[in-house]
Amino acid sequence: MIFSSLLKKMIFTPVGWILLVIASFILIRSLVMRNSYEIALSSGVLLLMLILGITGAWKSRKLKTMETAWKPPFPMTANTNYDQESALTQIAGLDASIPLFFRLHFLIRGSFFPSGAERKCPVSLETSVPHGETSTQIAFNFPMSGIFQGEGYCRLRDIFGLYSFACGLEQRRTEKIRCSPCFGKEVRVNAQSGAEDRRNKPSIDEERYYMREYTPGDRLRDINWKSSDRIDTLITRISTDTQEKISRIEVHFRNFFKRRGINEKGKTVEGQGASLEELWLLDRAKARLTYFLRSIKDQNSSFIFDVHTAQGNWEIEDDEDLNAFLEELAGFSFLPYKNENALSKGAGDLYIFSTACDTGLPAFLLACNPRPVTLFLSQPEEQRAESKGQRTESEKICMSDFYQKGCSPSLRWFSKSVKPLGVNTGRMEINYAEIKI
């Protein structure tokens, strides 16, 4: 933090410092040797630097209270396609007159926490504002889900790269980045497969019933055959004072992880963070859960999800609840194991999303018997030959993905440490993920 504050207060760039030292040395040397050519050359360079420095310092004081507005797209999604202008972060409020040979630069500095982990990697992005423009855009993006914490601010710089003056007000932001989408086999859920929830439909007006499109589970005797024949679509007649059956889908997102690390003696101990491979597996499990929830909602908007995670439980009834949950899901990281009392005693299918880091998964599957279970498991690529279930294309993440997006991860993150997870259940879909250095 102290080093970052000093950098913001410095007005000379590295190039400016080097040129200042060289020009001063040449001037002193030329005065001693009485070389008029070198005296004129070094004096001209120093005079130019003096004029630029005075002009920049004067203008930066004028722009001290300038307030810029930077607005990332919502929701922020990892690996966004920047062919679309709406995916870029818009920067406005730059309507200030800038002296000749100077440009405004907008910088974003902060830390990115992949999958919400405690480990962080520095983030540094910068863009210049074309002369005469009052707004600009910047590709503010990340290679995977997580949390960004940092600030955006402006600098006034000369086109020669000698000076950098602080100007404008800093704006601190915390942004949650949702995982990039993945696509798997579409899951069809029947109305009878979930737990039933019966709710009274109050009488709204004098009508004795209303009609809607037929959904699986409706009684055949409630179908309005005349209306259905007229529009070529099955229409169900629902009485306003009857009880309508709603299916509840129970989902478990197991972001559990036994934290471990290496102490000074080389022994494995608990208490350290996850590697990038483990965080990438968690990110892909989030992506599969997101696809599952959205696809089921598209099938039938009346379904209600009971989602259990290591952070808590959520009830998702509509799109508003779903978007709120997905925003929270973006920042979920691994948590240590705890006593699980979330398993309901009701009937119906269970849908479980987990990773190869979840060593407690086999015991949990055993405790779920005799309920039908569908498991979505994220495994590393090297376990492809040893795993059973539906095989999908491996999803990769590379170190270059981080650097291209302004992040600087530590090389220690790219260790491969995930062990095989042997599970066996009736219905299982495996998503493969790997990291590349």
Give the CATH number, domain containing residue 122. 2.60.40
Question: Which residue range(s) make up the domain with 218?
Answer: 202-241
* Measured distance CA(369)–CA(380) in Å, rounded: 27
Q: Where are the alpha helices (DSSP H) in 10-151?
A: 14-33, 36-62
On whether both 340 and 427 belong to a single domain, the answer is yes
**Residue at 23 is within a domain:** no
The answer to whether residue 51 scores a pLDDT higher than 90 is: yes
| Number of domain units in the chain | 3
Domain identity same for 236 and 323? no
* % of the chain residues with pLDDT over 70: 80
Residue 359 confidence (pLDDT)? 85
In this structure, the answer to whether residues 305 and 423 fall within a common structural domain is yes
Domain assignment present for residue 49? The answer is no
Distances (CA, A) of 75 to 141, 142, 152, 324, 327: 12, 13, 19, 11, 8
172 and 207 belong to one structural domain: no
103-117, 298-312, 335-349: least confidently modelled range: 335-349
Region 310-316: what's the mean pLDDT? Answer: 91
Backbone phi, psi, residue 182, to 5°:
-130, 160
86 within some domain: yes
Residue 57 lies in a domain: no
In this structure, are 324 and 407 located in the same domain? yes
pLDDT per position as a tens digit, 76-128: 888 876 555 657 888 988 888 899 899 999 999 999 999 888 888 999 999 99
Residue 208 pLDDT class (50, 70, 90 cuts): very low
Give me the pLDDT at residue 386, please: 47
Domain boundary among 217, 241, 265: 241
Give whichever of 67-71, 92-96, 102-106, 396-400 has the largest mean pLDDT. 102-106
pLDDT at 158 over 60: yes
Would you say residue 39 lies in a domain?
no
Same domain? For 169 and 220 the reply is: no
Mean of pLDDT values over 269-276: 61
Same domain, yes or no: 412 and 307: yes
Q: Kindly state whether residues 214 and 287 are assigned to the same domain.
A: no
pTM: 0.78
Q: Is residue 36 part of a domain?
A: no
Helices (H), 245-305: 276-299
Residue 202: is its pLDDT beyond 70? no
Instruction: Tell me the pLDDT band of 253, cut-offs 50, 70 and 90.
Output: very high
At 270 the pLDDT is 42
117 in a structural domain: yes
Give the Cα separation of 103 and 125 in Å (integer). 16
Do 221 and 331 have their domain in common? Answer: no
Q: Which of 19, 11, 80, 76 is nearest to 44 (CA)?
A: 19
Mean pLDDT (the chain) is 80
Which residues make beta-bridge pairs with 335? 256
Q: What is the mean pLDDT of residues 250-271?
A: 64
Of 222-226, 333-337, 404-408, the poorest mean pLDDT is in 222-226
pLDDT category at 8 given cuts 50, 70, 90 is low
Whether residue 258 sits in one domain with residue 234 = no
Final residue before a domain boundary, out of 214, 241, 268: 241
Query: Looking at the structure, do residues 274 and 126 belong to the same domain, yes or no?
Result: no
Higher pLDDT, 323 or 5: 323
Q: Which of 143, 177, 211 is the last residue of a domain?
A: 177
Neighbours of 80 (CB within 10 A): 19
Residue 237 lies in a domain: yes
- In this predicted structure, the answer to whether residue 4 has a pLDDT above a threshold of 60 is no
Query: Residue 163: what pLDDT?
Result: 94
Question: Has residue 325 got a pLDDT over 60?
Answer: yes
Q: Are residues 261 and 236 in the same domain?
A: no
Q: For residue 237, what are the CA distances in angstroms to 3, 127, 217, 414?
A: 70, 59, 13, 58
Confidence of residue 366 (pLDDT cuts 50, 70, 90): confident
For the segment 41-56, the average pLDDT, to the nearest whole number, is: 94
